[in-house]
Structure 1
Amino acid sequence: MLAMLLALAASPEELELVMISVTYGNVPLKSCLTNVVSMFHVLDKELEWRRSQGKPEGFGGLKAYKPIVAIGPEHALEEEILMEDGFHGTDGLHGVHEAHPHLSPEETWKSLFEDGVPRPDEDPSYYTYFTPSKTPAHKEILRILKEEPENTITICSVGPMTNLALAAAEDPETFLRAKEICVMGGAVEVPGNITPVAEFNTYADAIATARVFALTSAVPSSTMPVVPQKIANLPAYPEKLSKRLNLTLFPLDITTPHLLNRGYFFDTVTPHVKEGSPLATWINHIMGGVFRQIERMVGDDPEPGLSLHDPLTVWYLLTIDDPAWKLAKNAPEDIRVETSGQWTHGMHVGDLRGRKRAPGAGSAVGVSGDTVAIDEIPGDEFGWLSAKRGNRINRLAESPGFEKCAPDLMSRLFG
């Protein structure tokens, strides 16, 4: 939610939010869609309130563009049981709809996405801020990538990657028209947050993540997951594609230290709540639930803070020209996703043995004196040292500053 709000609060020159591709997450798909629509409802009330108070409205991106909202399947490619963790409550927003019903829209909005649901006599004003679609999300992704110029669309994946995997499977060449895929997911050199080794988004649909990651390889089949029979209708990729996918990874390694601390948050938001800001009231309730949950899990010493996992991917797009963003020293890395391990499902696996990868074409001299290609290392059965096989992931390791992200977020939302 904070990531979407940050994107909508950006200036029109910084970012155009073209589409919100809704997926399941900590809660089922329908709850996630309810929360997205509620966000637009709250923002409509917020802008109306700011106008009435003579305050700067902000949210230039919200007013300039009308993003498509489309939904995907209700569960992962392989599993029909959601990997819910209960962290954010049964509605995904710590009970905000029940606590503040005036900030939740009437359920007539469902007519925008479902047949047979009656429309209101007059469309509510918040409908003007988004374009609902009854087309499956992955098909809308492909349509946008076809219609927009190549290398202009960036996709921020801040949930399970099911929608992206479906788009890539249906038309991989169109999917490769994306400028960059920014993925919040995984834990490379740190512990996981849903299992000892796995991060939630990847764990929730490890096969989808593995399939998308495979497009970063010159030989996608070298890292494709073993496909269970029930999803065998998803085709393999062609062995030869026009290019590799440009994928930037934001694992827990870099996202976790970017904290929105409890004291700073409440110091910043409380004056706006007292003034009557609908957005501040809404976010204040949600974040209050977050901090209480963190306290229950780890106590309140040190001060609880929410790691800005998802907002960091949007902040990256807003500050992408800052030279402080740095990739891991061995980038691009061959990072693969475990899809079948009993204890390691969803784990991001890299080769930590420190051996050199095969240097590739034109780097060695054969017995006849001719220059030959070395694409493989003898005995490297799984292609970890291959010049062609294996994934090529750009993992971000440094940002413009742990201490800068939260203030910029809060300033853009309420400043």
Structure 2
Amino acid sequence: MAPKRRVIIDTDPGNDDVIALLLALAAPASELEVVLISCVEGNVDVRACLRNVVAIFHILDREIKWRKSQGLPAGFEGVTAYKPLVAIGANEPLHGGTDNADYFHGADGVGGSTQTHPEFNPHESWESLFEKPPPDDDLTKKAKDIDQDVEKETKEELFSNFTPSLEPAHKEILKVLRDSEADTISIISIGPLTNLALAAAEDPETFLRCKEVISMGGAIDALGNVTPNAEFNVWADPHAAARVYALTSQVPSSTMPLMSENFAGKDLPAYPPKLSKQLKLILMSLDITEQHVVTRSQFERKSQDLAKRGSPLAQWMTAFLTPMLNKMAALHHGHDDDPSLALHDPLCVWYLLTEDDPKWTTSEKSPEDIRVETQGQWTRGMTVADKRPRRRRNSDGEAPHDRGNWLGRISGNRVEKMKGSPGEDIAGAWILDRILGYVS
């Protein structure tokens, strides 16, 4: 049976990214196929992001073997029924320098657990999977062939549940979309939008073959989490976000970042004046994600017994979530008896798995004209919405008092901002049950 949904996940793991990926890979094969996981610089540097993705597959291999030894359903059909492609992407934003969120996630992205719990780290040979082999010379070819045969057997045993790519992530995104029927691939973006912007710039029509982009990012009415006005994923590469958001407009040029800037070696071209369709962009902003959390008590109830029984997955999740929950408790100066972590990124996967639930609702004004600030000294990465209670013009807003055509009939972006979910009170338990509850 073909999966109900096929997806590309673009990510910068990151603790909550890891939970999102585990949730996607835990889905039954009839529900979801993760075709490609592409890594982007964000929470931590892109090589650390890639290592964390490889670590997921390493842990899941051990977990599946443990479950079988216990007579439990293996689950994780995302790796047993499918073999996702993994690609490494952009190592810097389109413009300006890199500024990671390792101050929160830890230098490794997973709460420092690669140092405190090295037993969960993937085999050291993982990096060579993503490197093109050097050309052979005749004198050493035979010896190299022998070494490569041994290395190949080791890699096949250790990394048999995913396919490493030697191509840049944005090119793999385009290839998946090109090789798939139009409107069948959803893209979940849970990091900065750099890879998506690069793919769209290279071939916008192929990029628009995707069914939708579900993006964790932005803060419309909520407070920012990296500056007073900005959410991290948009702030980390506002130019990339602006370019992707612009594809939701009938006139992308009306909201594109200024082309006079020097994009640090990435002088991306303007989009053609006329594109075949508009991008469907579903925004999971802080307005909704901050309300959905997993608490320490929820996690411990689900994981403690499994960890004691020897579940590698429960033990690994404990290793990286415990320091993060401790950090949240410290931020509240010990006044929070049950600290929690927001489920920012997992919410995107939860939506895709349950999108038919009528409790998923968008804002009353959706689609909204939401744009990204790229120039402001204090407002970089701010997601700006037109909140004026006025009807749109039938023209393109020539009037000088409405600069930027905010009330134009065809200019401006059209973003679907998610507002309601199946329940803030059930999110944490539902997600943990899917990951640790052996859903068949």
Taking structure 2 as the reference length, what is the TM-score of the superposition?
A: 0.88
Q: 1:287 aligns with which of 321, 327, 337?
A: 321
Q: 1:176 aligns with which of 203, 208, 211?
A: 208
**Distance apart, 1:238 and its partner CA:** 0.7
Aligned with 1:102: secondary structure? helix
**Distance apart, 1:13 and its partner CA:** 1.0
Pairing 1:310–2:332 present: no
Q: 2:197 aligns with which of 150, 159, 165?
A: 165
Give the RMSD, CA atoms, in angstroms.
1.5
Paired residues for 1:13-412 under 5 Å: 13-116=30-133, 120=151, 122=153, 123-227=155-259, 228-229=261-262, 230-231=264-265, 233-302=267-336, 303-358=338-393, 360=394, 374-376=395-397, 378-379=399-400, 380-412=402-434
Q: Which residue number in structure 2 is paired with residue 4 of structure 1? A: 21
**Distance apart, 1:43 and its partner CA:** 0.4
Q: Which residue number in structure 2 is paired with residue 366 of structure 1? A: none
Q: Whole-Å Cα distance in 1 between the matches of residues 122 and 322 of structure 2?
A: 22
Q: Give the fraction of aligned pairs with identical amino acids, expressed as a percent.
A: 50
Q: Which runs of 5+ in 1 are unaligned?
A: 361-373
What letter corresponds to residue 219 of structure 1 in structure 2? V
Pairs aligned (count): 401
Would the aligned equivalents of 1:331 and 1:393 in 2 still touch at CA under 8 Å?
Answer: yes
- Distance of aligned partners of 1:377 and 1:328 in 2 relative to their CA distance in 1, 3 Å threshold: farther
Aligned with 1:61: secondary structure? helix
Structure 1 moving runs of 4+ over 4 Å: 116-119
**Which deviates further from its counterpart, 222-231 or 380-389?**
222-231
- Tell me the alpha carbon deviations over residues 56-108 of structure 1, each in whole angstroms, 9 at most, x when there is no partner: 11112221111110011211011233333410111111122222222212221
**Distance apart, 1:115 and its partner CA:** 3.1
Aligned with 1:16: secondary structure? strand
Would the aligned equivalents of 1:10 and 1:61 in 2 still touch at CA under 8 Å?
Answer: yes
**Which deviates further from its counterpart, 19-28 or 158-167?**
19-28
Would the aligned equivalents of 2:45 and 2:100 in 1 still touch at CA under 8 Å?
Answer: no
Q: Which runs of 5+ in 2 are unaligned?
A: 1-17, 135-146
Q: Whole-Å Cα distance in 1 between the matches of residues 208 and 384 of structure 2?
A: 24
What letter corresponds to residue 358 of structure 2 in structure 1? P
What letter corresponds to residue 324 of structure 1 in structure 2? K
Q: Whole-Å Cα distance in 2 between the matches of residues 163 and 336 of structure 1?
A: 19
- Distance of aligned partners of 1:44 and 1:226 in 2 relative to their CA distance in 1, 3 Å threshold: same
Would the aligned equivalents of 2:298 and 2:428 in 1 still touch at CA under 8 Å?
Answer: no
**Distance apart, 1:405 and its partner CA:** 1.6
Q: Whole-Å Cα distance in 2 between the matches of residues 283 and 45 of structure 1?
A: 13
What letter corresponds to residue 397 of structure 2 in structure 1? E
**Which deviates further from its counterpart, 235-244 or 57-66?**
57-66
Taking structure 1 as the reference length, what is the TM-score of the superposition?
A: 0.94
- Distance of aligned partners of 1:232 and 1:323 in 2 relative to their CA distance in 1, 3 Å threshold: same
Aligned with 1:18: secondary structure? strand
**Distance apart, 1:6 and its partner CA:** 0.3
